Amino acid sequence: MIRVIVVGKVKNDEYAALCAEYLKRCTRFEKVEVIEVKDCGKEKEAIRILDLISDEVVVPLTIPGPQMTTESFSNFLKDTTQKGVCLIIGGPEGLDPSVLAAASRTLSLSSLTLPHELARVMLLEQIYRALTILYRHPYHRA
């Protein structure tokens, strides 16, 4: 199972449509769930995020985190979906240190600063792409 915890809602209709489309595509291969946490300041967000984390591989997305190729990300998902993986996108203020302390590892989508809504679209697309590699679907062409 793959869970994506995100701070805030997608307000842009085009981004929301893309998120819904990639989530629908992902669930053909694996159970993927997106959980939204209210944007209410780092400390309160952290409490809510930590309450949602269970016994799974916890991976907050951070700019200074290591980057992976799509193929490496696909292998990472293969190795972690049995136990479960929880990917976390913080809010505009970033993630509280307590969330980072609960992490199994961190991951960076890019060293560029991305709007949170776009980061969600990119993450869901990369999850879908990684799953298509695992399930030998022709979507990914490297």
Q: What pLDDT, in 10s, does the model give residues 44-67?
A: 999 999 999 989 999 999 989 999
> Could you give the number of structural domains in the chain?
1
**Residue 94 domain-assigned?**
yes
Quickly count helices (H) and strands (E) in the chain.
5, 4
Mean pLDDT calculated for residue range 114-137: 94
Q: Reply yes or no on whether the pLDDT at 114 is more than 70.
A: yes
CATH number at residue 121: 3.40.1280.10
**Residue 140 domain-assigned?**
no
Model pTM score: 0.94
The arrangement of strands across the sheet holding 85-89 comes to 32-37, 2-7, 85-89, 57-60
The mean pLDDT of the chain is: 94
**Residue 139 domain-assigned?**
no
Percent of the chain with pLDDT over 90: 85
Question: What is the domain range of residue 26?
Answer: 2-134
- Please work out, in degrees rounded to the nearest 5, the angle formed at the alpha carbon of residue 122 by the alpha carbons of 95 and 12: 85
Residue 93 Cα distances to 78, 115, 138, angstroms: 31, 12, 38
**Residue 49 domain-assigned?**
yes
**What confidence tier does 142 reach under pLDDT thresholds 50, 70, 90?**
low
